Structure 1
Amino acid sequence: MSDGSLNLDDFGDLIERPDSGVRRDAEERRARTGLPTGALGRLDELGEWLAAARGRVPVEPLSRPKVVLFAGDHKVAELGVSARPAGGAHTLVRAVLEGNSPVAVLARHQGVPLRVVDMSLDCDPEELPEEVTRHRVRRSGGRLDIEDSLTAEEAERAFRAGMAVADEEADSGTDLVVLGDLSVGGTTAAGVLIAALCGTDASVVTGRGGGHIDDLAWMRKCAAIRDGLRRARPALGDQLGLLRTVAGADLTAITGFLLQSAVRRTPVILDGVVSAACALVAQRVAFRAPDWWLAGQAAGEPAQAKALDRMALDPLLDHGVTAGEGTGALLALPLVRAAAAVAAELPVRDAEEPGGADEPGAGRADGAEVLDAT
């Protein structure tokens, strides 16, 4: 992409997997701590993944995580598919900026900075800080059931904006991103993307959204996803075209952000169904990209479950959190931080010490010998 053209096929060459050699070194170091295999559960897997992603053993503790939330409105919300009013995503943004939303409270108490990126809010840009609105592509998005969400030019701008945000975060030293969205109608667009990419029907992917819609709203949402799916299927061979058709500027930007974050070797924790849908599109673009992501939580949305299963991502948490806005992913951050800290700071034993790496049964609760991973 150095010549200025946007060719999504380039991501397949640019994205490499986390360093497998470093991961083996991390596994070997873990075996030399003397702790029984499995004693730390998933912390071991996370610590080794982080070591491979950051290319260092022992892995450095996470010191500069960041919450990044992409914001936008979707005109499909005018059909009554959401518990929130159409065009109301700017109220979610204001609550975050004022520190009055769950994700803002959690970020404040965890000491994690938070960034909001307006891609297509249905409000005057002057109502929000310039640092929030400077990447905006348009005001709201086309109604996905009857028209394209974006023009071709808008889709490319949104995708490039997501890439630019990923570069800005990598350049500023962010070592892990907690990714979320602030949208009204976004879960409907996500349902269309996941149904199209998984080859399933609308009813299979239609959930209740963050606001727990009633049965009538669920039926309206299912119909909107069905109509959007009919429009999306012809674009399946062109991922940017698929995003243009049904995704909107915020989801398009998230997809660009995920791919460029993988290029820049920045790990990402996904939140709910919206980030899962964008990740699924990104996987279609570059099959190695999901190796850079963690699924923070199971949000209870059937579409999210299908997308994560397709990408072989197992959620870290399942606490029934449906607030969205990156809340569930941020709840998973302490677990990831703990894994990094333990992997970084647990001392290893010398081979000649009792219980050391060469001691029969070292690292195994059942007394079996440890095989050399190399």
Structure 2
Amino acid sequence: MLEERIRQLIDNKTKPLGALGRLEDLALQIALLQQTETPRLENPHVLVFAADHGLTAEGVSAYPADVTFGMVHNFMAGGAAINVFCKQNGLSLLVCDVGVNGSFDQAGPTLVKYKIRPGTRNMRYEPAMTPDECAAAMDAGRTLVDGVRHRDCNIVGFGEMGIGNTSAAALLMHRFTGFPLPQCVGRGTGLDDAGVARKLAVLQAVAERHADATQPLDVLTAVGGLEIAAIAGGMLQAAENGMLILVDGFIATSALLVAHALNPSILKNCIFCHQSDEAGHRFMLDFLGAKPLLNLDLRLGEGTGCALAYPLIQAAVGMLNDMATMDVL
């Protein structure tokens, strides 16, 4: 049996039994997913999906909505944290505009254009998306994942950029996990106590308006984001392709909640890279039974946790493939 052989191989390395802790579990997970005793990490990518949110008109964010547009330009110029960390750790980066409220003159080696509409609608008064828009956003994620798979990529991380998207993520968390909304709502980009209270009041109104949305795609359509839908679609496609999925923080995990509701077996593909400093993320991880690799109080998004955790994933695979066994002693 493959699992027994891999466990024996790990246990027989030149170390005390279990001495490499979580790295041993990680090596086993990757080897079982790839169905081999000699797993490989090929052409790793981080895909960052960007979109705006109509709900920002309700004052749920500490930053104005046009920061989304500016940050995509920053990604294109190579100046964001995710650019730095991907370069440092050898991951390729692609940024996909699925719903930014603004036009980019041209696509480049980093930017992929797949705009569905210039941001979601204000979900306080109407669904964030139509079913067709939600499906198109999910298709964008699927298409981009298939594209990098054809570049022989077998490990993909997901990041996002979208002012207001912690509100959408909190609503998705509330609906998919059953946690009370106050437990799901945090400071986002840095709201003070009064800002959090205002945000919670707005999100309670949104939750009540869309209480009839119960099926996974209906919930995503009503209270999600275009970038969150794209990530959910991309994660589902990555699982279908047998790829490793690097899960970033609060927003990316909210997309995984959608994907998990549609395909519970997706968790075997997932490596949870870190626990975010956003209040609800720990409860999301607990709901999924996930153990994150890092806890650095990050709350940036962009897929930064994926890029920072990647060297540990490399170490786990390197241990399994290259570390000597007790036979040499």
TM-score normalised to the size of structure 2?
A: 0.95
Offset of residue 224 of structure 1: 2.3
Aligned to 1:9: none
Residue correspondence of structure 1 range 95-134 to structure 2 within 5 A: 95-126=74-105, 129=108, 132-134=111-113
- Is 1:190 matched with 2:169? yes
The SS at the match of 1:298 is coil
The amino acid of 1:195's aligned partner reads H
CA distance in 1, matches of 2:169, 2:80: 22
Aligned to 2:154: 175
CA distance in 1, matches of 2:151, 2:2: 24
Offset of residue 133 of structure 1: 4.5
Residue correspondence of structure 1 range 128-277 to structure 2 within 5 A: 129=108, 132-209=111-188, 211-236=189-214, 238-277=215-254
Aligned to 2:293: 316
Offset of residue 297 of structure 1: 0.8
Compared CA separation, residues 196 and 185, structure 1 to 2 (3 A): same
Aligned to 2:312: 335
- Is 1:25 matched with 2:5? yes
CA distance in 2, matches of 1:58, 1:24: 14
CA distance in 1, matches of 2:243, 2:265: 14
CA distance in 1, matches of 2:90, 2:62: 31
Percent identity among equivalent residues? 27
Compared CA separation, residues 218 and 24, structure 1 to 2 (3 A): same
Offset of residue 22 of structure 1: 3.4
CA distance in 1, matches of 2:5, 2:39: 11
Count of aligned pairs:
329
Runs of 4+ in structure 1 over 2 Å off: 21-25, 125-134, 347-350
CA distance in 1, matches of 2:109, 2:203: 34
Aligned to 1:359: none
Aligned partners of 1:87 and 1:140 also within 8 Å: no
CA distance in 2, matches of 1:281, 1:176: 20
CA deviation map 1:322-374 (0-9, x unaligned): 22211122111111111111111112344xx76xxxxxxxxxxxxxxxxxxxx
- Is 1:285 matched with 2:265? no
The SS at the match of 1:188 is helix
Structure 2 segments unaligned to the other structure (5+ residues): none
The SS at the match of 1:235 is coil
The amino acid of 1:32's aligned partner reads N
Structure 1 segments unaligned to the other structure (5+ residues): 1-20, 355-374
Aligned partners of 2:96 and 2:111 also within 8 Å: yes
**Bigger Rg, structure 1 or 2:** 1
The SS at the match of 1:234 is coil
CA distance in 2, matches of 1:300, 1:24: 37
Aligned to 1:39: 19
Compared CA separation, residues 291 and 233, structure 1 to 2 (3 A): farther
CA distance in 1, matches of 2:190, 2:240: 36
The SS at the match of 1:184 is coil
Alignment RMSD, CA only? 1.8
Compared CA separation, residues 122 and 108, structure 1 to 2 (3 A): same
